[in-house]
Amino acid sequence: MKPDGIYGPATAAAVKAYKEQRRILGPGQIVPDNIVGKLTIQSLDDEMSIFEEESTGASELVEITGDGHNHDHSNCPTAPSIQNTRVQHRGTPINPQGSIRINIGGEGETKYLGFRDFVTDTKNLFGPPRPLTNTIPSHTVTDLCMRSTIITTEGLDDGHGEREISRIARPGCRFTFANNPQFFAGGTDRFVLSLGRLIEDITVFDDTDPTSDGLRVFVIIMRGDGVFTPRVRKVR
C-alpha cells in the first residue's frame, strides 16, 4: 500500500491489529482500540530502538562477536600467542563461498568454518607451527583470511607476503583482512585495496574492552591475476 498521509480505515485497522498483538490497553479498557496514544507511541519507539541496535554493525560477511557464527565455541582451540586463552572470532569471515579456505597467520579461529592455517614465511613464528603458503598451488584459493598478523615479516625481501597472497588467490577469491585501525597506515590499506574490489569496510568492537579501537575489516573480491601494488618501506 502506498502511503497517502491520511489516517484512514486501513491505517486505523493496522493500528488496532498492532495493539491487539501486543495487548496495549488503556485504563479501563478490555479490548484495544485504533487510537495512537502514549502507550502505542512508546511501544513503537521501544521496538524501533531494538531494531536499530540489532542492525548496527550487522554484516553477512564479517563476524562481529567473539563467540563466532552458529557453532559451539567451547570446542574451539586455545591460542598460544595470547596466553592460551580460547580463540575469539571477531573480524573473521562468515558465509565463506568456496572449498579452498586459507587463514594466513591463523591459530584455529576459522577452523570451524573449514579454513586451514598457513604462514607466508618461516620467520612468522607467532602461534603454533603451520605449513608455508609456498605449498599451495597458484590461483586456487577461494577464501582468504588474515587477522591481526604481519603481511611481510621485517627483514625479509620487500613484498614477500604480498606476493604470496596475490599468487595463491583465484579470480573471485574473497579476502577478509582485519587489523587494528592504526595498522592500516603505511601502505597496508593500499596493498589490500589494490587486489580487487572492496565490498565491505566495517569496524567491529570488543564489548568487553571499552578502550579498544576495535578491528577494521576490509572484504575484497580479488582479481586473482597475481598483480599487486607493493608497500613502500623505509630504508634502514
**Average confidence (pLDDT) over 125-143:** 90
Calculate the alpha carbon distances from 152 to 104, 199, 201, 202 in Å.
Answer: 11, 24, 22, 23
**Average confidence (pLDDT) over 142-158:** 77
| pLDDT beyond 80 at 156 | no
In a domain, 205, yes or no: yes
Considering the domain architecture, whether residues 97 and 202 belong to the same structural domain is answered as yes
pLDDT tens digit string along 160-191? 888 999 999 999 999 999 988 776 766 678 88
In a domain, 233, yes or no: no
pLDDT of residue 158: 65
pLDDT tens digit string along 73-126? 888 888 776 656 888 899 999 999 999 999 999 999 999 999 999 999 877 666
| pLDDT beyond 70 at 42 | yes
Considering the domain architecture, whether residues 177 and 214 belong to the same structural domain is answered as yes
Phi, psi dihedrals of residue 172, rounded to the nearest 5°: 90, 0
HEC string for 133-164: HHHCCCCCEEEEEEECCCCCCCCCCCCHHHHH
Domain count of the chain?
2
Considering the domain architecture, whether residues 136 and 193 belong to the same structural domain is answered as yes
pLDDT of residue 125: 60
In a domain, 47, yes or no: yes
Instruction: Give 45: exposed, middle or buried? Use CB within 10 Å, 0-12, 13-18, 19+.
Output: exposed
pLDDT of residue 78: 86
Considering the domain architecture, whether residues 111 and 17 belong to the same structural domain is answered as no
Could you tell me which residue, 224 or 209, shows the higher pLDDT?
224
Considering the domain architecture, whether residues 104 and 200 belong to the same structural domain is answered as yes
* Residue-number span of the structural domain to which 93 is assigned: 73-222
**Average confidence (pLDDT) over 129-154:** 89
| pLDDT beyond 90 at 65 | no
Considering the domain architecture, whether residues 44 and 125 belong to the same structural domain is answered as no
Considering the domain architecture, whether residues 196 and 151 belong to the same structural domain is answered as yes
| pLDDT beyond 60 at 21 | yes
In a domain, 36, yes or no: yes
Considering the domain architecture, whether residues 41 and 92 belong to the same structural domain is answered as no
In a domain, 121, yes or no: yes
pLDDT of residue 232: 53
pLDDT of residue 231: 61
Considering the domain architecture, whether residues 209 and 119 belong to the same structural domain is answered as yes
In a domain, 111, yes or no: yes
Considering the domain architecture, whether residues 217 and 109 belong to the same structural domain is answered as yes
Considering the domain architecture, whether residues 90 and 194 belong to the same structural domain is answered as yes
Q: What is the pTM of this model?
A: 0.71
In a domain, 1, yes or no: no
3-state secondary structure of 192: helix
CATH code: domain of residue 179: 3.40.50.150
Considering the domain architecture, whether residues 39 and 113 belong to the same structural domain is answered as no
In a domain, 65, yes or no: no
pLDDT of residue 43: 77
